[in-house]
Structure 1
Amino acid sequence: MRGVRRVLHESAYALTSFLISLAAFVVVVSVLVAGAGLSVLGIGLALMALAVLMSRGFAVAERVRLRGMLGKDAPGPRYLRAREDDGVVRRVLTPLRDPQSWLDVVWSVVGLFTGTVAATLVVAWWAAVGGGLTYWYWERFLPMNEGDDTLASLIGLGEGREPEIMLNTGFGIFALVTLPWVIRAAALTHAGPARALLCGRAELQGRVDRAEGSRDAARVAESASLRRLERDIHDGPQQRLVRLAMDLGRARRQVHRDPERAGQLIEDARRQATETVAELRSLSRGIAPPLLVDRGLVAAVEEMAQGCPVPATVRADVPGELPPHVETAAYFVVAEALTNVAKHSGAGQAEVHVSMSGMGLVVEVSDDGVGGAHEGKGLGLAGLARRIEAVEGELTVSSPIGGPTLVRACVPVDRR
């Protein structure tokens, strides 16, 4: 049933393409030519701007048809708009300065050709199906005299009505079997150039917007990471180093007067130095984990899972070499997710799954905890979402109350 519905939608799209394209061609081209002929006068440029605006209206209608009748993604571009301080003349002529508007005009011409081809194919094939499969009924109304040549007799199938019925029925069956492919080809004959001319610029604008969004997200994530690192260093290692310096100063003063006391102070200083080194090593994992750099993503994730207070299993099936930014993003997804599991989930076990798919590198961290996690609940997942957005990836969190929780990130991988 779905296939029948699709064939009907594509047939309707192809048939109406000719009528709409004919109207667009007549209206847009006639007004544009009239405006070009009167361009020496002020009204000529205004008519040309009107023609461009009308072509824009037909382009909008075509994008709606692509989405509604064919189910295709047909984004609309951002058209050039007049600024608030522009004068009347500049406002009127703004459509003439917009590249996409001229692509709409080109479509008004090209669409007539593609619409004609598409509609002709659809009409011809549906006629072949209907005429061939019903020929057995209506052939009796056709005059036929003995000795008349028919297509069946010319190709050696025999003379008379029966061979002709068999031949035309065969044509009808062939047309019915090939109908879905021919109708699809007819629809794409019109839809392909339509998407290229009417949506190509919009897709480019979308990619630019995503790139700018990724850049902004990277700046925000980097700024937040630096602020957090600065705060952590100030609250942890810096305070320990200050105390270490004070202990060593007191030990130096006590070394001759009270060697035992000095030895105790030196031992305290040694312990402070050891703890400071450990804390600095922990903070360095937020910048560039050494194990990730030296041995790759799988080894770093397995070590992280082993150190998680909640038992965590790792399933990883990834290539040996991935771009550094992809590995780093995946590492931080696992790190933040396991941190949340240990602190907030109340889970008994967790699972980390890292794999490749057609979309890129997929990282999934699940647990059987109490649920209730979401990006807006704290800075951890929100910052992680910005970090993933910075590499043009996508982060989703599924965590209903009562659990389970699934954190999933998909990071595109460009192997060029």
Structure 2
Amino acid sequence: MPTQESTDERRPARSLDVFARARVTLDGLEHLIGGVGTATLALVALIGVITVMALCLVGIGLPLVPHALRAVRAVANRERARLSRWGPDVIIDPDPVPPGVRDAIRHPATSRELRWLLTHATLGLLLGVIGMTLPFSALRDLLFPLYMGLLPPGEMAGAAMGIWQVDGLPSGLGVSLLGVGWLALALAIVPGMARLQAWPGRRMLSADPGTDLALRVAQLTATRAGALDAHATELRRIERSLHDGTQNRIVAVTVMLGAARRAVQRDPATADALLERAQDAAEQALAELRAVVRSILPPVLADRSLADALTGLAAACPVPCEVDADVPGRCAASVEATAYFVVAEALTNIAKHSQAGHATVMVRRHDDRLQVRITDDGRGGAGEDGGSGLDGMRRRTEAHDGMFELTSPPGGPTTLNVSLPCGL
């Protein structure tokens, strides 16, 4: 027999299940509404294809075939983009439709897109319309007692889908119960309807497995080349920093120590001044050497978390900067170092070039990827060819098989998105 404590423990769990189901239903409803948009376009494209086929029967529609198939491709690419935004996999657009009639018809993706067009323009549109109708029906019936007095007697009597006669407040409350039923039905079937609406697109608009594999091999080849270039660039930077900075300082220390040694007997005052200058040069060389070491792998990441390290960067930035970091656990050291350097370089660019009044750094971990977003309200217009270090940031990111995206329209704002595999 369950105790009072076990019953109390079940209640929060049930509430969480209800809220989770409501979120899933809202997501499903959003997917269905988006699917209605592409289904409407698919219906228009389907009518155009049927029209071109009819014109082909009388011999005047053949020149229009490539144009019709390009229209189908445009609608299919919109569905690919929609499914890529809402699904776990990115659906890659196929090659453009060839200009010739025979080549356009024989294109590998043409038959699959036409089958999808017919399915999505009918079943997809129907599912979307039904899914959109359910919440409106639930809202209409739940609020019925509030506006029932404004309805003419004939319309009020015909409420509740004709199941019972509405002639007063008690029967009007019964219509509200019907609204609860519509809401429960929406919670039960909307997520499944969204998956069913998306299923033909995921099945028919995806590329062949061989195409995905070839694209992945090409992407990894480019990533490997980028990693080697980034490694060579980093070695050149370290060598240049040591040669132009630390090495020159140490040479100067050696020269000044030799001069001080020669002057110590004949002119102690000059020797003391030379020793003081040599000490200052040695301290500067040590500081530059520490800076080079920190640029290879920041020691702050070994002692503190990535969120704490980024907070330190934001505190040192001349532009007011807010850090919103939620990264449970630790990522690979190289990934955290890359995220740290990207944020450091981005904040440096903001302070030097953007004329911004505020900046924000947001870091999140979703599944096996680390997402970093840096935004500022500056003048925008940032580009990778302006000597701002953005090209180096891209190479460093892509060397980890990551994604680098910069959006900086003239007038701002500037948004930098970096996605890195966590490496765990």
Q: Normalised by the size of structure 1, how large is the TM-score?
A: 0.56
User: Could you tell me which amino acid in structure 2 is paired with residue 241 of structure 1?
Assistant: I
For residue 328 of structure 1, what is the aligned residue in structure 2? 337
For residue 224 of structure 2, what is the aligned residue in structure 1? 215
Q: Structure 2 vs 1, CA of residues 68 and 345 (structure 1 numbering), >3 Å: closer, same or farther?
A: closer
Give 1:279 shift. Answer: 1.3
Tell which deviates more after alignment, 268-277 or 287-296: 287-296
For residue 418 of structure 2, what is the aligned residue in structure 1? 410
CA contact (8 A) 2:41 2:75 kept: no
CA deviation digits over 1:121-142, x for unaligned, max 9?
A: 98xx99xxxxxxxxxxxxxxxx
For structure 2, the 5+ residue unaligned runs are: 1-32, 47-68, 84-90, 96-107, 128-187
How do 1:277-316 residues align onto structure 2 when only pairs under 5 Å count? Answer: 277-316=286-325
Q: Structure 2 vs 1, CA of residues 253 and 4 (structure 1 numbering), >3 Å: closer, same or farther?
A: closer
The 2-side partners of 1:65 and 1:398 are apart by 24
For structure 1, the 5+ residue unaligned runs are: 15-59, 78-103, 127-176
The 1-side partners of 2:199 and 2:240 are apart by 58
For residue 236 of structure 1, what is the aligned residue in structure 2? 245
User: Could you tell me which amino acid in structure 2 is paired with residue 296 of structure 1?
Assistant: S
* 1:372 pairs with 2:381: yes
CA contact (8 A) 1:10 1:187 kept: no
Tell which deviates more after alignment, 309-318 or 1-10: 1-10
User: Could you tell me which amino acid in structure 2 is paired with residue 236 of structure 1?
Assistant: G
Give 1:294 shift. Answer: 2.7
Q: Structure 2 vs 1, CA of residues 257 and 326 (structure 1 numbering), >3 Å: closer, same or farther?
A: same
Percent of counterpart pairs with the same letter?
A: 38
Q: Structure 2 vs 1, CA of residues 262 and 182 (structure 1 numbering), >3 Å: closer, same or farther?
A: closer
Give 1:376 shift. Answer: 2.0
* 1:397 pairs with 2:406: yes
Report the 3-state secondary structure (helix = DSSP H, G, I; strand = E; otherwise coil) of the residue aligned with 2:385.
Answer: helix
CA deviation digits over 1:233-255, x for unaligned, max 9?
A: 22211111111110111111122
Give 1:225 shift. Answer: 2.0
Q: Structure 2 vs 1, CA of residues 330 and 68 (structure 1 numbering), >3 Å: closer, same or farther?
A: closer
For residue 285 of structure 2, what is the aligned residue in structure 1? 276
Give 1:184 shift. Answer: 7.6
CA RMSD between the two structures = 4.7
Alignment coverage as a number of residue pairs: 291
Report the 3-state secondary structure (helix = DSSP H, G, I; strand = E; otherwise coil) of the residue aligned with 2:295.
Answer: coil
Q: Structure 2 vs 1, CA of residues 304 and 356 (structure 1 numbering), >3 Å: closer, same or farther?
A: same
Larger radius of gyration: 1
The 1-side partners of 2:410 and 2:74 are apart by 42
Report the 3-state secondary structure (helix = DSSP H, G, I; strand = E; otherwise coil) of the residue aligned with 2:409.
Answer: coil
For residue 265 of structure 2, what is the aligned residue in structure 1? 256
User: Could you tell me which amino acid in structure 1 is paired with residue 241 of structure 2?
Assistant: D
Give 1:303 shift. Answer: 1.9
The 2-side partners of 1:320 and 1:183 are apart by 34
CA deviation digits over 1:263-284, x for unaligned, max 9?
A: 2211111111111111122222
Report the 3-state secondary structure (helix = DSSP H, G, I; strand = E; otherwise coil) of the residue aligned with 1:299.
Answer: helix
CA contact (8 A) 2:306 2:336 kept: yes
Give 1:381 shift. Answer: 0.6
Report the 3-state secondary structure (helix = DSSP H, G, I; strand = E; otherwise coil) of the residue aligned with 1:411.
Answer: strand
For residue 352 of structure 1, what is the aligned residue in structure 2? 361
Q: Normalised by the size of structure 2, how large is the TM-score?
A: 0.55
How do 1:11-410 residues align onto structure 2 when only pairs under 5 Å count? Answer: 67=76, 71=80, 73=91, 76=94, 188=199, 199-357=208-366, 360-378=369-387, 380-404=389-413, 406-410=414-418
